[in-house]
């Protein structure tokens, strides 16, 4: 019988990798709390319409990448490819009574059927932050500043560039879309098949094309910045705020992001250290999304970051909690009692299953344990216990009643 393999584009996280992932997530959550965010948890799958309507029918996510299935009730369901649409749906269903702005943090797995490569998997993990209910540039500035702080605390800021652009207001975006469509229609026969399909519905998506022929045509395309009227003052405030905070950025007039719901500010933190897939954190403003989903007109802005990419970029080993190892050459029950006593005191404790001191020392070495507690028959007869400090290489005997106090320095 062949050995079962993981599904392509998925991976197992063993303790070393899992600790690094948890470190990224916990660092983000700690920073989010400094900015007044609360955590939200949404279902891992939604009705397909939640994503099909909001991400855009011509987006790569909807046309090529979603994991969609029909359940036993005949409903079309989709594993979430991103977090914002589900959070917007949750706001419409149960969040409208909350005081504005609502500041939400999310972490969890996402699913996209795309070609696996370095830093990109079919099941991947994201951290996500959203501010719902604020139409002020301050929200844009604050979210970007929060991302900048996170990248600094992860130690990767020196390899990151912040790219920034504006799509303007809904009126600005509509005017630019028509100007871009007119330009691209003159070159329609030379566009890739994907871009030809997008031309009628959403020509802005063509700006995100990776096809070399498309990119050559786009080199002379009109730029969004030249057609921003209503959104110009808004974007100027964002630029001024970032400058005041000392956050460097580069304007990228071709930056539109891959989803259809963006307006005004869009941004990406990119790196050249991860190969072709250089975006590690990105987002933008989506003032029309909640209304398009059937909710009230409500402004919003957010960003998401790939945990795998941030963990790979940081490339930091996160040490496991150092254990107290107990070995009981005689009565194993006594070891269980003392282990629970020490756990209650806040220690991480394991019991060596062999009951042999030699084996326990080898296990302690491999697990980087901090101390070895030896509960031998002779020690117990004297009401004592032996404690070996594995860093210092010293061993002492002490009264069993004082064990908890003596190990406090190792906590």
- For helices 307-314 and 15-34, what crossing angle results, to 10°? 100
**Residue 96 above 80 pLDDT?**
yes
Last residue of a domain, one of 287, 314, 341: 314
Identify the H or E element spanning 189. none
31, 144: one domain: yes
240, 120: one domain: yes
- Alpha-helix residue ranges (DSSP H) falling in 190-231: 193-201, 212-218
Q: What does residue 287 show for φ and ψ, rounded to 5 degrees?
A: -65, -20
Model confidence pLDDT, tens digit, residues 255-266? 877 566 788 999
252, 393: one domain: no
Q: What is the pLDDT of residue 277?
A: 64
For 14, other C-beta atoms within 10 Å of its C-beta total: 8
Identify the H or E element spanning 337. helix 332-344
Q: Look at residue 222 and tell me if it is in a domain.
A: no
CA 143/CA 62 separation, integer angstroms: 27
298, 346: one domain: no
Place of tokens 């700690």: 30
263, 395: one domain: no
Strand partners, 79: 45
Strand partners, 72: none
286, 336: one domain: no
Strand partners, 282: 268, 304
**Residue 60 above 70 pLDDT?**
no
Average pLDDT in the chain: 90
Tokens for 202, please give them: 């959403």
Contact 122, 7 (CB under 8 A): yes
Q: What is the pLDDT of residue 29?
A: 98
Model confidence pLDDT, tens digit, residues 371-387? 999 998 888 888 899 99
CA 47/CA 54 separation, integer angstroms: 12
Q: Which domain holds residue 402?
A: 324-410
Q: Look at residue 205 and tell me if it is in a domain.
A: no
Model confidence pLDDT, tens digit, residues 125-162? 999 999 999 999 999 999 999 999 999 999 999 999 99
| Mean pLDDT on 40-48 | 96
Q: What is the pLDDT of residue 317?
A: 82
- Which range has the worst mean pLDDT, 89-93, 201-205, 276-280, 329-333? 329-333
Q: Over pLDDT 70: what percentage of the chain? A: 95
59, 150: one domain: yes
* CATH number reported for the structural domain that contains residue 362 in this entry: 3.40.50.800
151, 83: one domain: yes
285, 340: one domain: no
Q: Look at residue 266 and tell me if it is in a domain.
A: yes
Domain count, the chain: 2
């Amino acid at each position: 019988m062949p050995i079962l393999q993981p599904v392509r584009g998925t991976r197992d996280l063993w303790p070393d990798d899992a600790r690094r992932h948890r470190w990224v997530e916990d660092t983000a959550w700690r920073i989010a709390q400094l900015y007044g965010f609360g955590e939200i948890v949404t279902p891992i799958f939604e009705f397909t319409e939640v994503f099909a309507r909001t991400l855009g029918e011509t987006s790569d996510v909807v046309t090529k990448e979603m994991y969609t299935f029909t359940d036993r009730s005949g409903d079309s369901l989709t594993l979430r490819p991103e977090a914002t649409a589900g959070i917007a749906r949750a706001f419409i269903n149960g969040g409208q009574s909350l005081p504005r702005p609502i500041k939400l943090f999310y972490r969890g797995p996402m699913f996209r059927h795309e070609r696996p490569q370095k830093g990109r998997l079919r099941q991947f993990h994201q951290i996500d932050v959203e501010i719902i209910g604020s139409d002020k540039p301050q929200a844009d500035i604050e979210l970007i500043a929060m991302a900048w702080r996170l990248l600094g605390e992860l130690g990767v800021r020196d390899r990151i560039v912040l790219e920034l652009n504006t799509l303007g207001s809904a009126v600005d975006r509509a005017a630019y879309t028509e100007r871009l469509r007119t330009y691209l229609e003159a070159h329609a026969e030379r566009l890739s098949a994907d871009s030809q399909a997008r031309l009628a519905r959403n020509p802005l998506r063509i700006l995100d094309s990776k096809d070399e022929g498309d990119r050559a045509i786009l080199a002379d395309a009109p730029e969004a910045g030249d057609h921003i009227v209503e959104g110009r003052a808004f974007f100027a405030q964002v630029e001024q705020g970032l400058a005041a905070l000392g956050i460097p950025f580069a304007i990228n007039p071709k930056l539109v992001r891959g989803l259809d719901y963006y307006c005004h500010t869009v941004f990406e933190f990119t790196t050249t250290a991860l190969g072709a897939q250089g975006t590690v954190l990105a987002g933008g403003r989506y003032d029309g999304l909640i209304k398009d989903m059937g909710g009230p007109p409500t402004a919003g802005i957010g960003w998401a970051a790939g945990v795998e990419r941030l963990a790979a970029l940081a490339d930091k080993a996160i040490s496991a909690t150092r254990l107290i190892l107990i070995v009981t050459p005689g009565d194993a029950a006594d070891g269980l009692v003392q282990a629970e006593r020490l756990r209650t005191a806040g220690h991480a404790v394991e019991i060596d299953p062999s009951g042999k001191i030699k084996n326990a020392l080898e296990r302690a070495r491999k697990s980087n344990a901090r101390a070895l507690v030896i509960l031998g028959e002779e020690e117990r007869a004297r009401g004592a216990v032996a404690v070996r400090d594995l860093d210092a290489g010293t061993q002492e005997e002490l009264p069993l009643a004082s064990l908890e106090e003596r190990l406090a320095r190792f906590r």
